[in-house]
A and B are shown apart, each in its own frame.
Chain A
Amino acid sequence: MDLPKLKLKSKLALFNALSKVFIVTTLLLLVPWIVSEITIRDTDDLLIRKLDQVIELVDSLGIDAYINMDNEIKAFGSYNILKEEFISIEQLERDTLIDIIQYSQRIIDGELVEYRVLSYSIKESGNQYLIEIGRSISTIARFEQNLKQFAFLFLLLIIIITLIADIAFIQYLLNPFEQIVKKLKNTRHPSSFDYTPVKTKTIDFAYLDETIHSLMYKIEDAFTNEREYISNISHELLTPISIIQSKLDNIIADKTLPDAELLKIMDSKHTLGRLTKMVRTLLMMSRIENEEYLLTEKVELNELIKNVAEEIEDKIHAKNLELKFDLNKSIPAINGNENLLFILIYNLVNNAIRYTQQGHIQIETAIADNQIVLRISDTGIGIRAENLPYLFSRFKNFSNHKDSFGLGLALAKKICDYHKINISVESELEKGTCFTLEFKN
């Protein structure tokens, strides 16, 4: 069954409410029956008590006080004006023992009235008499109605009180749990995790909290180790690279070296250059991860774009491309690290140049939905759809591409993450690629 996903708190509250609804419905169905059972018993008890009183009276006053023997009809009847109750005594012809309570109808003053009637036979002065005591159904019904109303009100009150109490208790009970969830939600990175323990008297939650804390510690540790590792290794690598490069430079400076050897050394230098660039980029990435760059500079994006363009225009001309601008002059300065943002834009534009053989590269700034948007689009060879998801990964090899995108875009992504810039890419093969940056601040 496909149930919607809900918070634990909501689920418990929902279950509580549902179970209460169930109880109420059951009670609502049962209450009329119970109430009528109670009223009948109550009425019957009343009738029996009245009968005892009547019998007592008859015993003390004698039956004659009620029944006039001279009269043709040997009977006595008393009704109250509202016909709520009646008592009747009449002589029975035969010796019959009667002792029942039942419903029966009587005509009183020409009006048909429904009664609950207690019929009881007694022997008095050698004669058999039947005493009947009745209570009108409408009276009973009124009583029943009152009782029902009271019962409903009471039920309702109980339910409301318990429901509120339950929800409050669930809220109170699950509060630590919610705090744990909130902590996790607020954590973008283990280093930003809030390690203050959640206050709780529930063992399970305390255990959960502790476990998450210790896991977070481990993850953070692993992260730190990896960062330090990359940072150290980059640093350690740069020194030997530097030695090799110096040695090669010294060999090249030797003017007696034959051309063939010189070419081989040039080749090595080229390779070493690639290695250097890679290590430097890795180092920069790990430094960003270590948050070594300040983000407090006021950066004018349009200015920055112009600086990048100036730096890169020779490459544009060399490939006979055109660099177009569509800059929104009113975009405000952003907070960030100018150096990193320069590298970011430079890398993206440089990448566009590299994969564009003809046409143009366009840099666009705009404001959309209160966000600054920067777009860099080209008319280049495009990127295969299956490669798009891996574009920003380190050292991802593209089987159908001669050279990988290397670290340039991974660095771009890192700079974006550091500045909380959302970077996305759209591309169509042989048509071009468009990188979009959305500045969130």
Chain B
Amino acid sequence: MRVLIVEDEKGLATEIKEFLEKEEYNCDLAITGNEASELIAVNPYDFILLDIGLPDYNGLDLIKEAKEYNSEAYFIIITARGELEDKIKGFDLGADDYLAKPFSLLELLSRVQAITRRKFGQQSSIIHFGNFSLDTIKKYLEYEGQPVDLTKKEYKLLSYLILNKNRVLDRLQLTEHIWGEFYEDDYDSNYIDVHIKNIRKKLAEYDENNWIKTIRGIGYKFEI
């Protein structure tokens, strides 16, 4: 996967690059709109992460431009303003997702993965663990063909843990993923604990495996 990161804030751009490279993404950096414009014209990208608040370029114009040369590329728009209009315009121009600054890198990664799954019709949208199977497109969990009754939030939480399997997710990341912009400033992390407890209880009805590990003081990890 080849990714272009267009972000005028160098500090942020390098962090994104470092993180995505650990995840085996091949990243290019563009600090200005002109740089980005040149890179887009020359290289085929799978993903373009675009900060639309560039000082030298209208980010939305850049999408139009990129669509000419890189019609296959997927766009994730990054903005610090979070204006709804920009968001809508961005989607109109063909952006695939939208992230408001600040976002967690894990959230960025999961958005990238989600788009990949959606667009590339990934090998399988179904993830198996034990005798469970999680359908990430139809969004439900089954045990040997029997649907497991999960609430929307429980499903969201479990699938997030599974998609980031073997990685420790902290409560903040989980909260942010589940409640999005509504997550609280006093972030009631115990809600996550309650949800995890309920999910464990529901999974335990089917098998004895402790899928979700508690990492003390930090959060949870789904182990396969």
Residues of chain A touching chain B, judged by Cβ–Cβ distance below 8 Å, are 235, 238-247, 249-250, 252-253, 259, 262-263, 266, 269-270, 272-274, 276-278, 280-281, 283, 287, 292-293, 310-311, 313-315, 317-318, 339, 343, 346, 350, 354, 403, 406-408
Beyond A273-B172, A408-B185, 11 additional contacts (C-beta under 8 Å) are A238-B80, A252-B170, A263-B217, A266-B218, A280-B82, A280-B181, A281-B185, A311-B179, A311-B182, A318-B194, A350-B182
Whether B82 lies near A283 (C-beta < 8 A) is yes
Nearest 10 A/B pairs, CB to CB:
A246-B15, A242-B102, A277-B185, A318-B194, A249-B105, A243-B11, A242-B101, A238-B80, A245-B102, A241-B102
B84: Cβ under 8 A from any A Cβ:
yes
30 contacts between A and B (CB under 8 A): A238-B101, A238-B102, A240-B11, A241-B101, A242-B12, A242-B102, A243-B15, A244-B102, A249-B106, A250-B15, A250-B19, A252-B170, A253-B19, A253-B22, A259-B218, A266-B217, A273-B172, A274-B187, A277-B187, A281-B185, A292-B83, A310-B152, A311-B179, A314-B151, A314-B195, A315-B188, A318-B190, A343-B182, A354-B186, A406-B186
Whether B191 lies near A314 (C-beta < 8 A) is yes
Residues of A with C-beta under 8 A to B186: 274, 354, 403, 406
Whether B172 lies near A242 (C-beta < 8 A) is no
Which residue of chain B lies nearest to A318 when distances are taken between CB atoms in the complex? B194
Whether B182 lies near A249 (C-beta < 8 A) is no
Least CB distance, A133 to chain B, in whole angstroms: 107
Whether B217 lies near A273 (C-beta < 8 A) is no
B125: Cβ under 8 A from any A Cβ:
no
Residues of A with C-beta under 8 A to B179: 311
Least CB distance, B3 to chain A, in whole angstroms: 15
A263 to B151, CA, bound (A): 30
Known A314-B151, A315-B188; judge A262-B218 contact (CB<8 A): yes
Whether A245 lies near B191 (C-beta < 8 A) is no
B29: Cβ under 8 A from any A Cβ:
no
Interface string of B171-205 (1 = CB under 8 A from A): 01000100101111111101100110000000000
Whether A273 lies near B185 (C-beta < 8 A) is yes
Whether B12 lies near A246 (C-beta < 8 A) is yes
Whether B185 lies near A246 (C-beta < 8 A) is no
A345 to B12, CA, bound (A): 35
Residues of A with C-beta under 8 A to B100: 280
**Interface positions of B from 96 to 128, Cβ below 8 Å from A:** 100-106
Residues of B with C-beta under 8 A to A314: 151, 153, 191, 194-195
Residues of chain B touching chain A, judged by Cβ–Cβ distance below 8 Å, are 9, 11-12, 15-16, 18-19, 22, 80-84, 100-106, 151-153, 168, 170, 172, 176, 179, 181-188, 190-191, 194-195, 216-218
A339 to B85, CA, bound (A): 13
Whether A350 lies near B81 (C-beta < 8 A) is no
Residues of A with C-beta under 8 A to B182: 311, 343, 346, 350
Least CB distance, A314 to chain B, in whole angstroms: 5
Known A242-B12, A259-B217; judge A270-B188 contact (CB<8 A): no
Report which of A246, A281, A293 forms a contact with B105, defined as CB distance below 8 A: A246
Known A250-B18, A276-B102; judge A354-B188 contact (CB<8 A): yes
Number of residue pairs A-B, CB distance < 8 angstroms: 116
Report which of B80, B216, B217 forms a contact with A242, defined as CB distance below 8 A: B80
Whether B16 lies near A246 (C-beta < 8 A) is yes
Whether A273 lies near B187 (C-beta < 8 A) is yes
Least CB distance, B140 to chain A, in whole angstroms: 17
Known A235-B81, A242-B101, A318-B190; judge A278-B185 contact (CB<8 A): yes
A281 to B184, CA, bound (A): 11
Residues of A with C-beta under 8 A to B152: 310
Whether A274 lies near B185 (C-beta < 8 A) is yes
Which residue of chain B lies nearest to A246 when distances are taken between CB atoms in the complex? B15
Residues of B with C-beta under 8 A to A350: 182, 184
Residues of A with C-beta under 8 A to B217: 259, 262-263, 266
Least CB distance, A345 to chain B, in whole angstroms: 12
Whether A406 lies near B102 (C-beta < 8 A) is no
Least CB distance, A341 to chain B, in whole angstroms: 14
Residues of A with C-beta under 8 A to B80: 235, 238-239, 242
Known A292-B83, A315-B191; judge A242-B9 contact (CB<8 A): yes
Residues of B with C-beta under 8 A to A273: 172, 176, 183, 185, 187
Report which of B170, B184, B195 forms a contact with A318, defined as CB distance below 8 A: B195
Report which of A249, A272, A274 forms a contact with B15, defined as CB distance below 8 A: A249
Report which of B15, B82, B168, B172 forms a contact with A269, defined as CB distance below 8 A: B172
Whether B151 lies near A269 (C-beta < 8 A) is no
Which residue of chain B lies nearest to A353 when distances are taken between CB atoms in the complex? B188
A259 to B104, CA, bound (A): 20
A249 to B170, CA, bound (A): 10
Least CB distance, A1 to chain B, in whole angstroms: 55
Whether B184 lies near A277 (C-beta < 8 A) is yes
Whether A406 lies near B153 (C-beta < 8 A) is no
Residues of B with C-beta under 8 A to A317: 194
Whether B101 lies near A239 (C-beta < 8 A) is yes
A420 to B187, CA, bound (A): 30
Whether A277 lies near B101 (C-beta < 8 A) is no
Whether B185 lies near A407 (C-beta < 8 A) is yes
Residues of A with C-beta under 8 A to B82: 280, 283
A270 to B171, CA, bound (A): 9
Residues of A with C-beta under 8 A to B194: 314, 317-318
Residues of B with C-beta under 8 A to A235: 80-81
Most buried by A among B12, B191, B217: B12
A339 to B182, CA, bound (A): 12
Least CB distance, A161 to chain B, in whole angstroms: 65
